[in-house]
Every structure is written in C-alpha cells, then in structure tokens.
Structure 1
Amino acid sequence: MAGELDHNNRDGIIGEHTRSCYSLGHFISRLRSLEISAAAACLLVIGLCCLLLSVISLYSSSISPWFLPPPPGSFSPATPPNPEDTKMQQQREISEDPELIKVLNRAKMTTTAVGEGRLPPSEMVILTTINRAWAEPGSLLDLFLESFWNGDGTKELLRHLVIVSLDHKAHQYCQAVHPHCYALTTPGVNFTGNAATSKSEEYMRVVWLRTEFYTSVLNLGIDFLFTDADIVWLRNPFPHLHEQVDFQAACDYYSGDDSDLRHIINTGFIFVRSNDRTRRFYKFWYDSRDRFPGVKEQDVLNSIKFEPFLNDIGLQIKLLDTDHFGGICQPIKDLKVGCTMHAICCIGLESKIQALTVILQDWKRFSSAPAESRLNLSTSFAWKPHRTGCWYVYARYL
C-alpha cells in the first residue's frame, strides 16, 4: 500500500511538473508578445526554473522536506561505532606511527648478534616502560640503566633498548638520559603514580595500553624482550633463552619444569617472537580483559593460559628458571650464572630502590674482584627477612 501511494504521489508530482512547464512556455510567449528585452526575459526564466526545481526536490524526498538523507554508505551519528573496529584502528595508528617506526628502526638488532647462535635470526628490540615516579634522579630508571653499564656483556645492549614513557615528565627525563625514547600516551590517561602499588582504574588502563602496544610491535614483524624497569641486568640474558619458543616469561617461583604452566607467569620479563601465533595470542589476551573487569594483564594471562585456544593456534610457552632470572621472591643462587634480578615481592617504590641498590652494589663488588676470588664471593651471598617492604632483602653474611 505504501509503495502504491508513493507511486501515485510521484505521478502527481510529474503531472504537476508537466503542467508547470506548459504554463512556463505560455508565459514566455506572452513575454515575447510584450517585447520585453531578451536579457531580462532570460533572467526571469532562470529564476523561475530554480524555484521550480527546489520545490520538486523537496516534495520528492521520502523523509522530511527539510532534511536530505546522507549518501549511501555514509556514517550516521545515530549509529554507535563498533568497539572492535575502534581497537583495531588504535592498533593501526600505533603501528603506523612514524615516530615509533623511526625509534624501532634505530634500536633494532638481530637475535644472532646477541644470542650466541641459540636464537633463530630475526629483528628484535628490548623494551621497558616508565612513568614519572620511576623516572627521577636516583629512582628505578637510573638503577636500571646503571646495571646495563656494569653488567657482563650488557653495555652494548643499551643501543637496542627502547624506553616507552607513559607520561610527559617521564618522556622528558628519558630524553635526557637515553637515545631511544617513545611517548605512549592516550587521551584521558595521565598515569604518574607508583605502578607497583596502584590499583586504580587509571592504572588498569595503562597496563592494558602496554599490552596493546606490544601487539603493535608484533604487527610490525619485530620480536621483543620486555623487561620491567625494577630489574637489574647482571649479564646478557639472550644466550640463556629457549630456542624456537613463541612466548617465554619469568616466574615468581620455579619448580624445575619449564613447561609446567602451573607456575605463576610474571610478565615483567618476557621474550616474544613475532609470528601469526603470537599476534593471535596477544589479541586473545587483550580481548580477554572484558571477561575479567578490573584485573591487570598479568592476572588475566594466568587465568587464560590453560584455555584450549592457545593449543588450537599452536602457541609454545616456556618458563625461565630462577637460577638465571631471579627475583626477590626466589633469588638467583650463584652470581656466576645469574642474569637478572627483579624487585618483586617488594611493596612500594622505596623498598624496590633499597633492594636493587644493595643488589647492584654487591654485583659490582663481585664483578670487580679477581677471577680466583670470585668462587668464594659467589657463595657468600644470602637472603634474610626484612621489614621495610620486601619479603626478603639482599644481604651478605660477613
């Protein structure tokens, strides 16, 4: 019925148009009979035609005569954007950021150059993130960089370290102390607090922003080793990483089986190869945050690591032993083989700084000692309970 009415309406408009044209022609003939000048007649005719076409276009619209519909395929403000499309667009924007590409190209290296032939050849970078609280004189970033300068085979790795700053102050400090800095910010987020203790909604947005950023790096075809800045590097860790593994991470406590996913994965030290499996895994990980609202990315990972999807895509996960990659929860036992020490199991920024300062001092003492005396020194370190915020603190039995 509606179509029939529209058809009749169009017929009426066309008929009216025909009659109007006939009347217009008759009117022009009358003008000629009155011998009005040709120029004046043309102007009058043009004006009448414009008026007639405007009326016809308004009445031929199927909606309000005062609103013309948008062209087919155009975005209507009444239609909310697809959140998945928005996330994909954000990842594309980060991946296509010329500044990021420039920084990564300056810093990237080949894995064969640092892995003593154990790792398959590929391009990779070392990444860490900082905020304002961690990027001040005498704070964690200074200790982190100092460890590279004093570690065994780590100084040259500074050329491949990209520091990702999460706020403007941190970025300014990074540019003052390191050549490869990238500012990762998002509208409405200005996280400047203590990342070790914050449980705020803003903190959650930042940790998930980092996960999204790592996905963008993988999309560029670059492997990465991510290290928290509350870690001191004692020696080059790459020769001690697993070969041909997609995703490998440190753990708080290690039982001896590097394939046992019952270990608590610690995302503060991870090595990820860029391939289709890891890209799909990171997307799955990032999307899983919607199922665990208010939960940080590490806890979400430990919740999804047994899900069938990871087996379906063939993702290989290995854990790193604490003999080489220790933390204050379970420290390295021998400085002759230890690579990194992580200030986990410490509550508060000052506790982390205190613990890592002592660790770095003892490492300097060990590494500067004559080779024949290092055997005794390496066994003279121990851990004891401490009351300042760490479960254990590094100390020497004198």
Structure 2
Amino acid sequence: MRELGLRKWQSLSLAAAFFIVLICILLFHSSDFVRSGNRRRILLKPPASLSEREKWDQVLRKATMPDRTVILTMLDEAWASPGSIIDVFLRSFKVGEGTERFLNHLVIIPMDSKALNYCRSLHPYCFYPSIFSHNLRFIAQSRNPNHNVFIWKRNYVLLQVLELGYNIIFTDADVMWLRSPLLQFHPQNELTISCDFSSYKRRGGDVQGGGLFFLKSTAISIEFFKYFNFMKVLYPNSRVNKSLCSYIVQSEDVVAAYGFRVQYVNTTYFGEFCHLDKYQFREVYSMHANCCEDLRSKVYDLKLALHDWARFRAHSSDNYTSKPTPFRWRAPNKCLASRHE
C-alpha cells in the first residue's frame, strides 16, 4: 500500500512538473510576443510556395491585359545568348503586324540562372520559379529527360497562373509572332489550340501543336490541368502525355467528363516548319520552327523567315492596290537539310 501511494505521488509529481514546464514555455513565448509584436506574424508566416505565388501575382499584374490575359514563354540556357532563339523571338514582335504591343504583356520564365540573367538584360518581366529545379529532379530518370522536364515545368507554371485567375497565351520561344492571334482565340472555351492531325499516324500517335495556344482561367481548366499533371506523374514516359495536343486528342472521354471545351484552330493560321505552305503569307499569324533539332539551323531559318516576312510587308504596303506578288517562304532551309542528313 505504501509503495502504491509512492508511485501515485511520483506520477502526480511528473505530471505537475510537465505542466509547469509547459506553462513556462507559453509564458516565455507570450512575453516575447508582447515585447516584439512580431511573434504572431512569425508563427503565421506563409510557406515559401505562397510567397512565390505572391511574387508571381506581382509580375502578372504588371504584364496583364485588361481582361487578365498574359503571354508566357519559357527559356533555358541553350536559347539564351546573343543571337540565339530568344533574340529572334523578341524581334518577331517588332517585325510583326500589330504585335509589338504584346511585349508589354509577355512574361518570360527562365529555366535556369543563366537564362534568368540574360532575360533580365532584354526584358522587364522575367520570373524564375526556383522551386522547380528542386522538386522535379527525379524526372531526369525518364526516357526523354529534357522534353519531360520542360513539359512538367510548363504544366506547373500553367496551373499556378490559372489558379491566380489569369488567362494564358502560351507560346514556345521558337515561334515567330507575325500577326495578332487574338482574333483566332475563342474566350468562351477553356482551350484554343492548333494541332497538326496529319502527324497522328506518321508519328505513331503523336499530335504536334503549333507552339501557341490560349487557356482560359476557369474552375474547369484548373481541375483539368491538375488531372493532366497527375497523369504525368503516373505515366511520365507515355506518348499520350507527350504534348497537350496528343493528350487532348487521345483522351476525349476525360475531356468530356470535365466539360473541358476545346476549339481547334486551322493550322493554316499557325504555320510550322514541318508542313509549311509556301504561299501562306496572307493567312499566317505565327510560324513555329518545329521539326528542327539543330539549334544553329533553327536560328538561321527563323531569321530567314523573319526576313521574308519583312519583305512581304514592305512590298504589300508599297503596292497595296497592285496584283499580289506570289511570295514564297525560303525557310526551312538548313533545318530541312539537317532532317535528311
């Protein structure tokens, strides 16, 4: 009986001691809060991801159009140096017909520190989501790491921007903006995109895009892209998930289930090196340097395309009432040669 009473007293003593220590800790933090006035703010400080979202929002607010639409492109170090892809890309806005104003709404997303430094020397709106390089390293194990990392980062960016309530015109940096594509976009739909359906059988189920599409920020598009990103986690090497066009075309049941409305734009308006109509000067809005892996050849042919476009515009303005001259694209030139090597 005496032993039982001793154990009970020891238990009560330990409980009392724990309670006293807890009270001391609470009093210490309470007094520190009273002294500094910052304790609560420190304890409730949002995580780094929220802070990054706030920075995102600051950049997007500066670049947005009146209807909360922003233009996004992504850039890595291979495309970020004097005379590289990004230089030609930015020049296309100045050479294009009514496109220079869109530079005020363009946000460039560098994928590494070198691209960030070069972007800042060229353009006012550059945002580097540094968290990507830490969270997505495991994708380097995939069969095609460069492409998969790009798709992952792009989809992550798209989802973040959609969640912030901004509509997106996404453009690859190897797309030349020759005319304003806004007239071809349909804001009542979640997605407006140009897909090359002729490549479906030729490329084993892959459907290539024109390198430029419009995304509307709605609850449907946000949920759809969450699902799309989830599929990339489950099947990182799937050919279906390789491009947005491939996924949309081969996942019609998912698209329908989400009510994700898609508008396909005629590829005549969004030209590409893969299937270039040599005489489409009067219809084309953009030109995508796809089907060209060699970087030097890509830059050369993009410059060639811009030169042809400048010649066409100069001739059209000088001879507005005369019979149209059948201008032809000289590009692709080197890209075409490299494909047959």
Q: Pick the TM interval, shorter chain.
A: 0.7 to 0.9
Residue 179 of structure 1 corresponds to 124
Q: Secondary structure at the match of 2:71?
A: strand
Q: Secondary structure at the match of 1:149?
A: helix
Residue 39 of structure 2 corresponds to none
Q: Alpha-carbon deviation of 1:158? A: 0.4
Residue 284 of structure 1 corresponds to 227
Q: Alpha-carbon deviation of 1:300? A: 6.8
Q: Which amino acid aligns with 2:328?
A: F
Query: Does residue 326 of structure 2 align to residue 379 of structure 1?
Result: yes
Residue 356 of structure 1 corresponds to 302
Output the CA distance in 2 between the equivalents of 1:149 and 1:324.
19
Count of matched residue pairs: 297
Match of 1:53 among 6, 13, 24: 13
Q: 1:356 to 1:280 in 2, by over 3 A?
A: same
Residue 84 of structure 2 corresponds to 139
TM-score by length of 1: 0.65
Q: Secondary structure at the match of 1:335?
A: helix
| CA deviation string 1:112-158 (max 9, x = no partner) | xxxxxxxxxx3110000000110110000000000001110100110
Question: Identity of aligned pairs, percent?
Answer: 30
Q: Tell me, yes or no, if the aligned pair for 1:95 and 1:101 is still in contact at 8 Å.
A: no
Bigger mean CA offset, 375-384 vs 325-334 = 375-384
Output the CA distance in 2 between the equivalents of 1:202 and 1:228.
15
Q: 1:187 to 1:372 in 2, by over 3 A?
A: closer
Query: Does residue 53 of structure 2 align to residue 97 of structure 1?
Result: yes
Larger radius of gyration: 1
Residue 289 of structure 2 corresponds to 343
Residue 207 of structure 1 corresponds to 151
Which residues of structure 2 form unaligned runs of 5+? 19-46, 200-204
Q: Alpha-carbon deviation of 1:378? A: 5.3
Output the CA distance in 2 between the equivalents of 1:187 and 1:382.
39
| CA deviation string 1:192-223 (max 9, x = no partner) | xxxxxx96436523420220110010001110
Q: 1:249 to 1:101 in 2, by over 3 A?
A: same
Q: Alpha-carbon deviation of 1:265? A: 4.8
Instruction: Please state which structure has a larger fraction of its residues in helix.
Output: 2
Residue 100 of structure 2 corresponds to 155
Q: 1:190 to 1:391 in 2, by over 3 A?
A: farther
Q: 1:240 to 1:96 in 2, by over 3 A?
A: same
Q: Tell me, yes or no, if the aligned pair for 1:251 and 1:263 is still in contact at 8 Å.
A: no
Residue 271 of structure 2 corresponds to 326
Query: Does residue 86 of structure 2 align to residue 130 of structure 1?
Result: no
| CA deviation string 1:307-342 (max 9, x = no partner) | 423212211112221221110112253212211000
Q: 1:383 to 1:298 in 2, by over 3 A?
A: farther
Residue 217 of structure 1 corresponds to 161
Q: Tell me, yes or no, if the aligned pair for 1:346 and 1:352 is still in contact at 8 Å.
A: yes
Residue 29 of structure 2 corresponds to none
Output the CA distance in 1 between the equivalents of 2:326 and 2:173.
27
Q: Tell me, yes or no, if the aligned pair for 2:196 and 2:210 is still in contact at 8 Å.
A: no
Q: Tell me, yes or no, if the aligned pair for 1:265 and 1:319 is still in contact at 8 Å.
A: no
Residue 207 of structure 2 corresponds to 264
